Amino acid sequence: MEDPRGDTERHQPPPSLWPVGFAVGIVCLLVGLVVSWAVAAVGAALAAVFGFLWARDVVGHRSVELPAPAPDEPAPDAPAVPAQAGGAAMPPTQPGERYPRSVFLENATLGLGAVIGVVVTVPAVGFAVLPAFLKQHQHEADLGPITDFPEGQFIVATFIRDPSQGDITRRTAYIRNNGLLKGVPSFTCISNRCAHVGCPVQPGGPVFDNKKQTVKTKNGDVTLTPVLPAAGFICPCHGGSYDQEGNRIAGPPVRGLDRYEFLIRDGHLVLGNLYSVAKVTGTGANAKITTVELHGPGQHVDGPEAWLYPLQPPH
């Protein structure tokens, strides 16, 4: 049956679950961009499969021409109409449009909408998730000459992590010169961020403010203050306690204190990236450190509890 515009009446496609699967895939993809490559890959695969099935249903649905109604038959008792009587014969039926205008306009609108959606969405999503998707750059921190760190003595170092961003990147670390290990200087560089909720831990012993000094480095002013953490390190917020190697010994923290990578460059101590620590066996230069990638406060790094945090965002 044709409408006044000449278009053929079409059946609408049946309800489908493909859009739901496509939406689930997009959600997994976006979450994966923040959490893990694996989750992002699964989301992309789901979105591609369900998107293809959805598009196939929409595009593959063709117009179905309904059978024309049967012509009215004259009543049985009516007289036959002579062939030469009546109006002119109807012109022969012309074939319908091969590609109706309504279908073209529908597909053109969908295509234009998809292009506009991509142009608007991709930049916004890129700026929102790209920093977490890529490996973040960690700035090195020059703490000054290694001669400012007496062997066997803990020093509280306060420094600017990224001078271009100013005081917002100010950090504190507990540094101990362990002497030489196979002819190479060895240092213990412990972060002051508690592994419970991230509060700053304090030394469990006297701080010698009268011996504080300020050193000029590439990162700006670095404050070095001698300290004697005889009782290790203590978190004043919730009572977490750590020994002098940063191992948890009491309280709610779920692991030991994080540490900084370090290197010696031109006689200066330079801190690198942070990493998390599961356990430290031994002390000083002879310590054996079980390291893992950097985790957030409150996240377990070993044991059954660590299964709750299987994936870490890039750092």
Q: Which two tokens stand for residue 281?
A: 């066996």
- CA–CA separation, 171 vs 160, rounded Å? 6
Report pLDDT for 105.
Answer: 75
Q: What is the pLDDT of residue 6?
A: 47
Whole-model pTM: value is 0.60
CB 277 within 8 A of CB 259: yes
**254-280 residue pLDDT tens:** 999 999 999 999 999 999 999 999 999
- pLDDT over 70 at 175, yes or no: yes
Query: Does one domain contain both 154 and 290?
Result: yes
- Could you tell me the pLDDT band of residue 118, with boundaries at 50, 70 and 90? confident
pLDDT at 221 > cutoff 90 = yes
**pLDDT class for 88, splitting at 50, 70, 90?**
low
**pLDDT higher than threshold 70 for residue 137:** no
What gap in Å lies between CA 280 and CA 116, rounded to an integer? Answer: 55
Q: Which domain holds residue 161?
A: 141-308
The DSSP secondary-structure symbol of 78 reads S
The DSSP output letter for 40 is H
Residue 197, exposed/middle/buried by CB under 10 A (0-12, 13-18, 19+)?
Answer: middle
Calculate the average pLDDT of the chain: 82
Closest CA to 233 of 283, 195, 275: 195
52: three-class secondary structure by DSSP: helix
pLDDT above 90 for 42 = no
d(CA 239, CA 249): 11
Note the pLDDT of residue 80: 61
Place 123 in a pLDDT band, splitting at 50, 70 and 90. confident
Residues 94 and 192 in one domain: no
Name the more confident of 223 and 314.
223
Please indicate, yes or no, whether residues 154 and 299 belong to a single structural domain of this protein: yes
What is the spatial distance between Cα 294 and Cα 301, in angstroms, rounded to a whole number?
9
Q: In this predicted structure, which of 21-30, 97-106, 200-209 has the lowest mean pLDDT?
A: 97-106
Whether residue 210 is predicted with pLDDT greater than 90 in this model: the reply is yes
pLDDT confidence tier of residue 28, bands split at 50, 70 and 90: confident
Q: Can you give the pLDDT at residue 84?
A: 59
86 with 123, same domain: the answer is yes
- Dig out the tokens for 266 from the structure: 């031109």
Rounded to an integer, the average pLDDT of 171-179 is 96
In this structure, are 159 and 290 located in the same domain?
yes
Per the model's pLDDT, the better-predicted residue between 308 and 168 turns out to be 168
Is residue 281 located within the same domain as residue 232? yes
Residue 193 resides in a domain: yes
Domain boundary among 74, 106, 133: 133
User: What is the residue whose two structure tokens read 């020093």?
Assistant: 155
**How far is the C-alpha of 65 from the C-alpha of 96, rounded, in Å?**
9
Structure token pair of residue 202? 């304090």
Is the Cα torsion angle 168, 173, 146, 272 positive or negative in sign?
negative
Q: Which DSSP category does 191 fall into?
A: E
For the domain that residue 235 is a member of, what is the CATH number? 2.102.10.10
Mean pLDDT of 76-81: 59
Using alpha carbons, select from 284, 305, 280 the residue that is nearest to residue 295: 305
Q: How many domains does the chain fold into?
A: 2
Q: What is the pLDDT of residue 114?
A: 82
- Does residue 146 share a domain with residue 291? yes
Looking at the DSSP bridge assignments, the partners of residue 222 are: 215
Tell me which H or E stretch contains 41: helix 37-59
User: Would you say residue 27 lies in a domain?
Assistant: yes
Q: Which of 122-131, 135-144, 162-171 comes out lowest in average pLDDT?
A: 122-131
Confidence of residue 98 (pLDDT cuts 50, 70, 90): low
Domain-embedded: residue 77: yes
